[in-house]
Amino acid sequence: MNYGMADFIGGFWHYYIAAITVVAIIGIIWFLKSQTTRKLGTGEEAELMEPTWDADLKELNNPLPRWWLYLFYFLIFFSIAYLVLYPGLGKFAGIWNWTSADAYKQEKERIDAQFNAQFQPFLSKDLRVVATDPQAREIGQRLFLSYCSTCHGTDGKGAKGSRLFPDLTDKEWLFGNGDPETIKASIAYGRLGEMPPMKDVVGGEAGAKEMANYVLSLSGLPHDANLAAAGKGKWAACAGCHGENGKGNLAISAPDLTDKAWLYSGTETGIMEAIMKGRKGGMPAQLDYLGDAKVHLLAAYVLSLSQGKQ
């Protein structure tokens, strides 16, 4: 409630929710009291509710048990006290000013303090050294499985099929050349890679087909030679990012088109789609969420995944 109500621009919903809540509580108290004021007199029998089953099975209109009533009133009092102390009446924050955001932050800080005590010894060490430490690798693997495996897979080989998320175990890198500092920066601050749509620039779908075949020729994949020759004549539109020889520019995440590593698809259809519609991908920054110690260990673990293939 304290998150959602604060997002409303006007004050109407604040009063609306608060009024409904108060009226509901008052209504419950009134109804409960109105139904429990009459007591049976001495010798008076409770009203018989029709029908009677099996000749002697009767349903009587007895007053509610006192312990049940007291429990009900206690719960009503508890709800009132809760709404005074905690948020629940529209934008009213409660006299304790409790918020779920603050509670989460405090719990996270408490847990991070416990974990960082274990991670801190590795933070001052060089990433290459940490990457070869068995204990650090074990901790890094657990962190990777918790925070990174959803996208990059439990084995670090990225998404299967679409290859939307890069393989971290090979020697191909979109940013840098696999050096420790760049890996850590990618995890800490995130990355954004974007290719603009080039359909109009290369001459529509026909031009994209020609360009796709030229790209296939750069990496030695099967292609149509005539279409590739026509696409080569239009390569100037792409050379600004991918270079005159197609080897890309790691500083701006323009991939090398002369190898056989593909993030999306290395088919004519897939390449044409990238050319015509463009591509946009990214990795969110993790430093604020994980902290420097966890980022350091994760970077070392990712480094260790590809060290043997450099």
User: Which residue from 211, 176, 193 is spatially nearest to 263, judged by alpha carbons?
Assistant: 193
Count of domains observed in the chain: 3
Question: Which of 74, 100, 126 lies at the terminal end of a domain, its last residue?
Answer: 100
- Nearest 5°: the CA angle 210, 216, 220 is 140
Instruction: Tell me, yes or no, whether 9 and 86 share the same domain.
Output: yes
Report how far residue 140's alpha carbon sits from residue 138's, in angstroms, rounded to the nearest whole number.
5
Give phi and psi for 244, each to the nearest 5.
Answer: -65, -30
Instruction: Tell me, yes or no, whether 167 and 63 share the same domain.
Output: no
Domain holding 201, by residue range, is 194-283
Instruction: Tell me, yes or no, whether 217 and 79 share the same domain.
Output: no
Q: Is the peptide bond before 51 cis (omega within 30 degrees of 0)?
A: yes
Instruction: Tell me, yes or no, whether 165 and 302 share the same domain.
Output: yes
Query: Token pair 């990795």 is at which residue?
Result: 283
Tell me the CA end-to-end span of the chain in Å, nearest whole number: 52
For residue 129, the domain's CATH number is 1.10.760.10
193: which strand partners? Answer: 281
The answer to pTM > 0.85 is no
pLDDT tens, the chain, 310 aa long: 444 545 555 678 888 888 999 999 999 998 888 877 666 666 666 666 666 676 677 777 677 778 888 899 999 999 999 999 998 888 888 899 998 889 988 998 888 788 778 888 898 899 999 999 999 999 999 999 999 998 898 998 887 544 578 888 888 888 878 889 999 999 999 988 888 899 899 889 998 999 999 999 998 899 999 999 999 988 988 888 898 888 888 777 788 898 888 888 888 998 999 899 988 878 899 998 888 899 999 999 999 998 754 4
Beta strand segments in the chain, E: 47-53, 57-61, 191-195, 279-283
Cβ neighbors of 185 (< 8 A, separation 6 or more) are none
**Alpha carbon 40 to its chain's center:** 62
